[in-house]
Amino acid sequence: MAGRRKPELLIPAGSLEVLRTAVIFGADAVYIGGEAFGLRAKAKNFSPEEMAEGIAFAHARGVKVYVTANILAHNYDLEGAGRYFQELKALRPDALIIADPGMFMLAREICPEIDIHISTQANNTNYRTYRFWWELGARRVVSARELSLAEIIDELNTIIRPQAREKDQTFEIHATALTCEHLLGDKLRINQIMINILSNAVKYSAGDLSVSLEADGTLTFSNTAPGMTALLAQKLFDRYFTVQTGRQATGLGLSIARQLTEAMGGSVEAQCQGEVLTVTVRFP
């Protein structure tokens, strides 16, 4: 059986110095912007010479580089964008991050050998949009930040349910009709928190897994975890702790989830009663 793909650690790099630091300290990929055609106008960004140097530095160490060209272009932008894509064709980054359909078509015409990722700026909020871009040739679509918590959880179905199915587990989601739509927090961080919690829950459990979303934004993850005890439940958030129940799993993902939640003013707690482990996440 082929090995499971690991999540990619993707780091933004606003300068050559930051790119080198990210690569040296373990990034799988970095994304950068040039002096035009990107939306990070206040960042230092990369000159053509710096971009060439940064891509060479990353590639020599097995790290990918994605270049943003995610403006919503006007007619007067397109001629310059075409020249820019010609320059990038020679530099050979691993992917272009694009939001505008016109820019997408231009990139496909000029440098079809470079993958295209669809930017969050394209406001990708439903699975048909993802399929639309995929069928046009995009290789990654980044979800919109405007997704509600309920929508993010619904998206996680496509990530977590296959993992649960491999272990003959059921995975159910329950959300109240009055679920809070707006939270004081970064939606991308919330998404990462839930992926970490659910992925670990699938690994160390052996029975049903359920997610409940309350009107106040409280999330409760419950699963049967034979061999789990109240003491082990408290140690789950230690990044160096290894859980042997079910499949082996470490506490690193849960530790990250707790730190991200607390950074947004929320909390994460775990309780174990019998063989049922419950993790409660409260956002502000």
Hey, what are 145's tokens?
Answer: 């930040």
Hey, what are 14's tokens?
Answer: 């606003």
- pLDDT averaged over every residue in the chain: 78
Q: Are 16 and 47 in contact (CB under 8 A)?
A: no
Domains, the chain, ranges and CATH?
10-141 (3.20.20.60), 149-282 (3.30.565.10)
**Is 2's pLDDT higher than 60?**
no
| Closest listed residue to residue 153, CA positions, set 138, 168, 135, 175 | 175
| Residue pLDDT, tens place only, 51-69 | 999 999 999 999 999 999 9
| Closest listed residue to residue 119, CA positions, set 110, 106, 129, 108 | 129
Q: For residue 50, what are the contacts with CB-CB under 8 A and spacing of at least 6?
A: 15, 16
- As a whole-number percent, the residues of the chain with pLDDT over 90 amount to 31
Q: Are 280 and 218 in contact (CB under 8 A)?
A: yes
Of the pLDDT bands very low, low, confident and very high (cuts 50, 70, 90), residue 4 is very low
**DSSP symbols for 109-156:** HH-TTSEEEE-GGG-B-SHHHHHHHHHHT-SEEPBPTT--HHHHHHHH
Measured distance CA(71)–CA(33) in Å, rounded: 11
| Residue pLDDT, tens place only, 207-257 | 666 777 676 667 787 777 777 777 777 777 776 666 655 455 555 667 777
179, burial (CB in 10 Å: exposed 0-12, middle 13-18, buried 19+): middle
